[in-house]
Amino acid sequence: MMLGALASILSFFPVIGLATLGGFLSQKSGVWNIALEGVMAFGAFSGVLAYHYLGGSVWVSLLFGFLIGLVVGALLSLLCVRLGLDQIVTGYGLWFITEGMAGYLYYTVLPSVRVVETIGPDILSLDPVFYLTLLSYGVLYMVMSRTRHGLAVRAVGESPRAADTAGIDVGRVRGVCTALGSGFVSLAGSYLSLVILQGFTYRMVAGYGWTAFALVLFGRWKTGSVFLGSLFFTLLIGLQTRLQVIGIGFIPPEFVVVLPHIGVILALALAGAIGKRAGMPAALGVHYERE
């Protein structure tokens, strides 16, 4: 019983974990992607779109959602990395467009889609995407700390000029990280619509994208901390859902719903108190151009 409850809570982990991982990758290379919320919504829509038109396989639909995320991320890096537009303003616009488009297209183009297929064999009553998320973090950790690619990403995020001097193609590294990161964010959205909610509704992402964004800051741009942070937040969400169902006396359910978000704010405040910009890539948000 307990194990079952835990498994059901953890099945939500890929939503938070993958989105956070995507935001992390982009920020680590020095690019703010503040459109996580919108990219997730678009991923959620793309997932059900693919489910409807591409033969009803959840795996294929997840892959499609990931690829769409790559395209959206490539657009963002074209605007911010190549053309040097302001990352905050561009990201803000991208959030509106992707979230709005997802809702608009779903209600005008698609008939209501209900996802009925399950994803495949469960392992310990958790679906494979959970393990895929764990694996992704493992690979991310190894790449960032043990390979020259990881070294290049960190160098570009900290000091693009020094990286350029050392012969690293700053634009390419940032572009790849932003696109790939956006792919993971979109995948998180697809997982949310295809596996967790088994359908699409407007604004279904409900702030999880913003949560993921905050979790990168909370994790102080360290792979391990970011992983633990998203796991911790997943547990908070699970707890909140349980409490809502059980009910705890005089506390109104609306208050229970906001609990995880209060948790994030507290965590952020705590992280901020420890060290304002500690761990933050020094060139985050700073466009680089050769003189």
Partner 1 sequence: MKDTLEEPGTGRGPVILEMRRITKRFPGVVANDRVSFDLRRGEVHCIVGENGAGKTTLVNVLYGLYQMDEGEILVEGQKVSIGSPREAMSLDIGMIHQFFTLVPGLTVLENIILGHEPTQGPFLDLERAKEEILRLQERFDLRVDLDAEPSQLATGQKQKVEILKALYRGAKILIMDEPTSVLAPGEKEELIRNLRLMTEGGDLSIIFITHKLPEAVAASDRITVLRKGRVVDTVEAGQVDQAALAQMMVGRDVLFEAARSETVKGERVLEVRDLEALDDAGRRALRGASLYVSEGEILGVAGVSGNGQKELVEVIMGLRKAERGEVIIKGLETTGSSPKEIRGLGVGYIPEDRLGRGILAHATVCENLVLGAHSKNPFAKGLFTDPVRIREHAERLVREYGIETPSVDKPAGKLSGGNILKLILAREFSRDPDLLIADKPTSGLDVGSEESVRRRLMEERSRGKAILLVSEDLDELMTMSDRIAVMYEEEIMGVVGAGEATREEIGEMIAGAKRSGP
Among 56, 61, 16, smallest CA distance to 40 is for 16
Q: Which of 44, 102, 140, 168 binds partner 1 (CB under 8 A)?
A: 168
Q: Cβ of 103: how many Cβ atoms within 10 Å?
A: 18
Q: What amino acid occupies position 78?
A: L
| Residues pairing with 126 in the sheet | 123
Helix (H, G, I), strand (E, B) or coil at 206: coil
Note whether 276 binds partner 1 by CB under 8 A. no
Of 163 and 180, nearer to partner 1 (C-beta) is: 163
Note whether 139 binds partner 1 by CB under 8 A. no
Integer angstrom CA distances of residue 87 from 84, 110, 143: 8, 32, 26
Question: Which DSSP string corresponds to 74-103?
Answer: HHHHIIIIIS---HHHHHHHHHHHHHHHHH
Note whether 157 binds partner 1 by CB under 8 A. yes
Tokens 């359908």 belong to which residue? Answer: 199
Q: Which stretch binds partner 1 (CB under 8 A): 115-123, 152-160, 201-209, 232-240?
A: 152-160
Note whether 172 binds partner 1 by CB under 8 A. no
d(CA 192, CA 115): 11
Note whether 147 binds partner 1 by CB under 8 A. yes
Note whether 158 binds partner 1 by CB under 8 A. yes
Of 109 and 166, nearer to partner 1 (C-beta) is: 166
Cβ 151 to partner 1 shortest distance, Å: 6
Token couple for 89:
């303003």
Q: Which stretch binds partner 1 (CB under 8 A): 144-152, 175-183, 186-194, 226-234?
A: 144-152
Q: Which stretch binds partner 1 (CB under 8 A): 18-26, 56-64, 146-154, 261-269?
A: 146-154
Cβ 174 to partner 1 shortest distance, Å: 15
Note whether 155 binds partner 1 by CB under 8 A. yes
Contact between 3 and 202 (Cβ < 8 Å): no
Note whether 82 binds partner 1 by CB under 8 A. no
Helix (H, G, I), strand (E, B) or coil at 123: strand
Of 143 and 206, nearer to partner 1 (C-beta) is: 143
Note whether 161 binds partner 1 by CB under 8 A. yes
- Residue 154's φ and ψ, nearest 5 degrees, are -65, -40
Q: Cβ of 251: how many Cβ atoms within 10 Å?
A: 11
Q: Which stretch binds partner 1 (CB under 8 A): 17-25, 60-68, 210-218, 274-282?
A: 274-282
Integer angstrom CA distances of residue 46 from 13, 101, 158, 168: 20, 11, 34, 34
Residues that bind partner 1 (CB under 8 A): 142, 146-148, 151-152, 154-155, 157-159, 161-163, 165-168, 279, 281-282
